[in-house]
Structure 1
Amino acid sequence: MVTDNTRRSLLKAALIGAAYPLAGCVSTSSQPAKPTLIGCSISGRNRFNAVVADKNGMPIRQVQLPDRGHGVASNAAIGHGVAFARRPGTFFQVFDYHSGESLKLRAADSNRHYYGHGVYSNDGKWLYATEGERGTSRGIIGVYDVTANYEKVAEFTGFGLGPHEVIVMPDDSLVVGVGGVHTNGRAPLNLESMTPSLSYLDHNGELVEQVGLDDHKLSIRHLAHDGSNTVLCGQQYRGEPDEYPALLAMHTLGGKLTPLQAEPEQWARFNHYIASIAATEDWILATSPRGNCYGIWSKHNQKLVELSPLPDASGVVVQGQEFKVSSGAGGVVSQLEPGEKQVLQSGVQWDNHWSVIG
Structure 2
Amino acid sequence: MTDRRTLLKGLAAAMLLPGRGWAAAGAPVWVAAARDPDGRHALHGIAADGGLTFAVPLPGRGHAAALHPERAEAVAFARRPGTFGVVLDCRTGAAIRSLTPPEGRQFNGHGAFSPDGALLYTSEVAAEGSAGRVGIWDTRHYARVGEWDTGGIGPHDLRVRPDGTLVVANGGIATDPQDRTPLNLGTMRPNLATLDGGGTILTRQELPGALCANSIRHLALLEDGVAFAMQWQGDAAEPVPLLGIARGEDMVTCGVPEQDAFAMQGYAGSIAAAGDAIVVTSPRGGVAMIHGRDGAHRVTLRRADVCGAAAGVDAPFTLTDGAGAIWAADTGGLRLMARHELAWDNHLIAVG
TM-score range, shorter chain: 0.7 to 0.9
Q: Give me the whole-angstrom Cα distance separating, in 1, the residues matched to 2:52 and 2:188.
A: 40
The change in CA–CA distance for 1:186 and 1:256 in structure 2 (over 3 A counts) is same
**Which of residues 226, 229, 235 in structure 1 aligns to 2:224?**
229
8 Å contact kept, 1:67–1:85: yes
| Superposition pairs of residues 170-189 of structure 1, within 5 angstroms | 170-184=162-176, 185-189=179-183
> Residues of 2 paired with 1:265 and 1:341: CA distance?
20
Match of 1:42 among 35, 41, 49: 35
Work out whether residues 219 and 226 of structure 2, in 8 Å CA contact, stay in contact via their aligned partners in 1.
yes
Deviation at 1:170, TM superposition (A): 2.4
Asked if the contact 2:26/2:54 (under 8 Å) is kept, the reply is no
Shift of residue 340, structure 1, vs aligned partner:
4.9
Structure 2: runs of 5 or more not aligned: 1-24
> Which one of the candidate residues 58, 69, 81 is aligned to 2:74?
81
What SS class does the counterpart of residue 327 from structure 2 fall into?
strand
Cα RMSD (Å) of the superposition? 1.6
- Cα offsets for 1:245-288 (capped at 9, x unmatched): 000000112x2211112034413111111121111231111111
Q: Which string of whole-angstrom CA distances, capped at 9 and with x for unpartnered residues, describes residues 286-329 of structure 1? A: 111111110101113x2211101112112111146731111111
Match of residue 192 from structure 1: 186
1:239 corresponds, among 227, 234, 258, to 234
| Equivalent residue runs for 1:84-233 within 5 Å | 84-147=77-140, 149-157=141-149, 159-184=151-176, 185-214=179-208, 215-226=211-222, 228-233=223-228
C-alpha separation between the residues in 2 aligned to 1:33 and 1:357? 12
Kept after mapping to 1: 8 A contact 2:115/2:160: yes
The answer on whether the counterparts of 1:83 and 1:93 sit within 8 Å (CA) in structure 2 is yes
Letter in 2 for 1:62: A
2-structure distance, mates of 1:322, 1:116: 26
- 1:329 maps to 323
- Rounded Cα–Cα distance in structure 1 between residues aligned with 2:278 and 2:67: 22
- Structure with bigger RCO (C-alpha 8 Å, 6+ apart): 1
Residues 265-344 of structure 1 correspond to what in structure 2 (within 5 A)? 265-300=259-294, 302-319=295-312, 322-335=316-329, 337-344=330-337
Matched residue, 1:23:
none
Take 1:234 and 1:357, find their aligned partners in 2: how far apart are those partners?
21
152-161 or 52-61, larger mean C-alpha shift: 52-61
Mapped contact 1:197–1:210 kept (Cα < 8 A): yes
Runs of 4+ in 1 over 6 A off after TM superposition: none
* Residues 82 and 92, structure 1, Cα contact 8 Å, conserved in 2: yes
Q: TM-score, structure 2 length as denominator?
A: 0.87
Instruction: Select 1:59's aligned residue among 33, 52, 66.
Output: 52
Structure 1 gap segments, 5+ residues each: 1-31
Measured in 2, the distance between the counterparts of 1:264 and 1:207 equals 38
Partner of 1:248: 243
Measure, in 2, the Cα distance between the counterparts of 1:250 and 1:150.
Answer: 33
The Cα shift of 1:143 comes to: 0.7
Q: Number of aligned residue pairs: give it.
A: 322
Identity level (%):
32
TM-score (norm 1): 0.86
Q: Is the 8 A contact 1:59 1:346 kept in 2?
A: no
Contact kept? 2:112, 2:122, Cα under 8 Å: yes
CA displacement, residues 190-245 of structure 1 (integer Å, 9 cap, x when unaligned): 0001110001111111110011112110011100112x122001001000011110
